[in-house]
Amino acid sequence: MDRHVTKRSWVEVSLGTLRRNYELYRASLPEKAEIMAVVKADAYGHGDREVARMLEENGVRFFAVSNIDEAERLRNAGITGKILILGYTPPEEAYRLSVLGITQALLSEEYAAALAAEVRKPEFAEKCAPLLCEFAIDTGMNRIGLDAENPRHSGEVIRKYREILGIDGIFTHLCVADTDTESAVAFTEKQLSLFNGVMDAVRDLHLPYCHCLNSAGGRTYSCAPYAFARLGIILYGLKPDRANVLPAGIKPAMTWKAVVSMVKDFHPGETVGYGRTFRAEKEMRIATIAAGYADGYPRALSNRFYVLLHGKRARIVGRICMDQMTVDVTDIPETAMGDAAVLLGEDSGETITADDVAKVTDTIGYEVICDIASRVPRVHVD
Ligand SMILES: *Cc1c(COP(=O)(O)O)cnc(C)c1O
């Protein structure tokens, strides 16, 4: 750790692991295919500036974020590659998009019209550089985009706004590519074929950036016809779906730690925490850990999960509080104040993944890592 970090609760992000994940995934793609690194939500909690800088140094030229503030942060951090905003930016922010040289996704015909109205204002024309945009295409997610079932109309809309909005690409999003059942695979193939239909409708425009594969889609489908794959979760070393198998060598890049703030002996009958939900049945030793739900640790894990201490599992006893939790260390007697517990990650051969947590709280690994609060400092190591 090269900068001072308060050792209460913190996340260590291995940039070396991230780089290897990127290289391993890249090696599995056809030679010319590139990657758009999806670094929205602070790079899924890994620290967007550090992650994007490392990736740009290693040849990544495309980045995706969720909003204009994330995009601006990357530009201010020195990222020079293409940055695509996947979601809504108020049309009146057109000038900011232009100044920052950010690519905006066009979410609908109505959205394109509103953005074009901004660009046509004389003050924009005088002061600002042309915009950069890509049109979202809806192939079945039914969230944003032009209707791919009507490729001719989609093509006309793209042509209509191409000049004024600087359209240089189209993209769609797959909604069941993480699932390998027959019906899911059929749906993904239908989505790809609908997208290819819109690509055909605008082929004469030679748009350089046509893309559709996410982490899940990239497991199965060739990136060859597309400009790049948009890679999020696999980059960070997690599975799109718990049932998926990752390419060999891909590993989670983050370790979440929190210190032991107190160790206490319990006698039979004593209880711990709010609601007195845990009662000692025998002589026990309980350690207090300096992290809670305000740090993003799911309260639903109360009495249901464990952390690692000295490479061993210490089960959570009692309710998880806002800033603290308590764990059973009866069988880990060496536990002392100041020890670092591992909440996510590896410790002497034992591992807790975000997917393990997600299974207990009935969600996905994505949510677990995105929920780690900003008050938990991120420390980047090689
Ligand atoms: C978040 C997102 C991605 C990345 O998805 P992963 O499953 O993390 O690879 C790709 N494309 C779009 C449009 C997204 O919103």
Q: Which domains does the chain have, with CATH numbers?
A: 31-236 (3.20.20.10), 254-381 (2.40.37.10)
From atom 8 of ligand 1, which residue's Cα is the shortest distance away?
232
Ligand 1 pocket at CB < 6 A? 38, 86, 173, 214-216, 230-233, 240
Please give the average per-residue pLDDT across 115-130, as a whole number.
89
Which of 2-6, 153-157, 271-275, 285-289 has the least mean pLDDT?
2-6
Contact predicate 279/238, CB 8 Å? no
Residue 20: partners with Cβ closer than 8 Å, 6 or more residues away: 249, 250, 251
Active site residue 40: yes
Question: Which of 22, 25, 40, 221 is labelled catalytic?
Answer: 40
Determine the atom of ligand 1 nearest the C-alpha atom of 44. Answer: 8
For the segment 241-251, the average pLDDT, to the nearest whole number, is 92
- Burial environment of residue 373 by CB neighbours within 10 A (0 to 12, 13 to 18, 19 or more): middle
User: Residue 330: pLDDT above 90?
Assistant: yes
Residue for token pair 């780690």: 372
Atom of ligand 1 lying closest to residue 87 CA: 15
Q: Which amino acid is at 235?
A: L
Q: Which atom of ligand 1 is nearest to the CA of 231?
A: 9
Nearest to residue 87, comparing CAs of 20, 166, 15, 141?
A: 141
Q: What distances in angstroms separate CA 289 from CA 8, 164, 182, 260, 298, one per listed residue?
A: 9, 56, 46, 5, 14
Q: Which of 127, 190, 264, 274 is catalytic?
A: 274
Write down how long the chain is.
382
Q: Report the pLDDT value the prediction gives residue 128, as an integer from 0 to 100.
A: 80
Instruction: With a cut of 70, say whether residue 1 has pLDDT above it.
Output: no
The mean pLDDT of 292-307, rounded to a whole number, is 98
> Per residue in 69-81, pLDDT tens?
999 999 999 999 9
pTM: 0.96
Chain mean position to CA 256? 16
Residue nearest to atom 12 of ligand 1 (CA): 173
Q: What is the pLDDT of residues 18-53, one digit of tens each?
A: 999 999 988 877 666 799 999 999 999 999 999 999
- The residue ranking higher by pLDDT, 4 or 326, is 326
What is the 270 CA–ligand 1 centroid distance (Å)? 48
Supply the pLDDT for residue 3.
65
The pLDDT tens digits of the residues spanning 132-191 come to 999 999 999 999 999 999 999 999 999 999 999 999 999 999 999 999 999 999 999 999
What is the average per-residue pLDDT within 85-89?
Answer: 98
User: From the CA of 190, how far away is ligand 1's center (Å)?
Assistant: 19
